[in-house]
């Protein structure tokens, strides 16, 4: 059993790595690889510290939505992390790589909720009904763990390897979309580097949101009206460096972009 002292030690390692922008060893050497609840508890410790410092949660990201990544990490379910107000990059904006840690970019479908998802029995129909609109998005993932040497408890504890996020300007009603077969193309400096379909995200972005909604009810923190949800990558994530320009186009949702500087 993972003790509270071990959870605190893991949280402190990640917090200090983030503050100093210096990578750290995996935290699985402290909390192991089997206890996912302990890993989420580590995430929660640093969540509470960030809230105390004045940061605000604006939504959630869903990770591990691709079967190949789940197989790589030896898990059979996604994970989640939090999106923070001070980590948003405006569409078309520029961010310094000095703010990032081992960054990679991935294209995703984002939802904004128009209703709470707090029922004990959440149906697929409830999921669709709760979505206000969809947008194209780019998630800039980052890892405090040296060389992305992660197992499942490492990434959960590290806020699901979250960093920054960008959403496009087009807010699209679901009735106008085919979210299973919509095509995604992501370019780096004009060159195609990632592509996929909506169904590459856990079979459907709806399924990913359904998993998250039920998970959040289980832990007593249900999703609320206005929450932003990044549902998971539609194609391979791509390393990024200073000077890069990333653009993602998702059929029906338009284009979103971000640039990186020193």
212: alpha, beta or left, given left = phi > 0 and alpha = psi -120 to 50? alpha
State the average pLDDT over residues 174-190.
96
**Residue 3 Cα distances to 32, 56, 153, 197, angstroms:** 11, 28, 15, 42
Residue 152, C-beta contacts closer than 8 angstroms, at least 6 positions apart: 33, 36, 39, 64, 73, 74, 75, 79
Cα–Cα distance, 193 to 66 (Å, whole number): 17
pLDDT for 88 equals: 98
pLDDT at 72: 66
Whether 103 and 240 have beta carbons less than 8 Å apart is answered as yes
Q: What is the pLDDT of residue 76?
A: 79
* Residue whose structure tokens are 């960093």: 163
**What's the DSSP call for residue 235?**
S
Summarize pLDDT for 243-255 with one digit per residue, the tens. Answer: 999 999 999 999 9
pLDDT tens string 67-123 = 767 776 777 789 999 999 999 999 999 999 999 999 999 999 999 999 999 988 899
> How far is residue 21's CA from residue 19's CA, in Å, rounded to a whole number?
6
Structure tokens at 137: 């998005």
Q: How many helices (H) and strands (E) does the chain have?
A: 7, 12
Q: How far apart are CA 169 and CA 151, in angstroms?
A: 35
Q: How far is CA 171 from CA 94, 130, 256, in A?
A: 22, 15, 12
Q: Decide yes or no: CATH 3.90.850.10 for domain 56-261.
A: yes
Per-residue model confidence as pLDDT tens digits over 8-33: 999 999 999 999 999 999 999 999 99
Could you tell me which of 66, 86, 91, 93 has the C-alpha nearest to residue 77?
66
pLDDT confidence bin for 144, thresholds 50/70/90: very high
């Amino acid at each position: 059993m993972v003790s509270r002292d071990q959870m605190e030690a893991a949280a402190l390692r990640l917090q200090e790595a983030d503050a100093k922008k210096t990578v750290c060893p995996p935290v699985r050497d402290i909390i192991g690889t089997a206890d996912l609840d302990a890993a989420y508890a580590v995430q929660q410790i640093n969540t509470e510290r960030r809230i105390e410092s004045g940061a605000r949660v604006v939504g959630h990201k869903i990770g591990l939505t691709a079967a190949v990544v789940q197989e790589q990490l030896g898990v059979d379910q996604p994970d989640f992390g939090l999106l923070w107000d001070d980590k948003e990059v405006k569409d078309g904006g520029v961010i310094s790589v000095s703010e990032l840690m081992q960054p990679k970019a991935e294209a995703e479908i984002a939802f904004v909720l128009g209703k709470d998802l707090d029922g004990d029995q959440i149906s697929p129909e409830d999921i669709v009904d709760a979505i206000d609109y969809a947008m194209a998005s780019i998630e800039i993932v980052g890892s405090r763990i040296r060389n992305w040497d992660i197992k499942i408890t490492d990434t959960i504890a590290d806020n699901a390897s979250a960093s920054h996020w960008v959403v496009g300007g087009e807010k699209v009603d679901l009735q106008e979309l085919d979210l299973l077969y919509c095509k995604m193309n992501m370019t780096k400096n004009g060159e195609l580097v990632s592509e996929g379909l909506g169904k590459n995200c856990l079979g459907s972005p709806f399924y990913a949101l359904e998993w998250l909604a039920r998970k959040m009810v289980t832990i007593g923190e249900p999703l609320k009206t206005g929450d932003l949800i990044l549902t998971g990558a539609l194609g391979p994530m791509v390393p990024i460096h200073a000077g890069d320009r990333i653009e993602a186009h998702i059929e029906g949702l338009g284009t979103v972009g971000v640039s990186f500087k020193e």
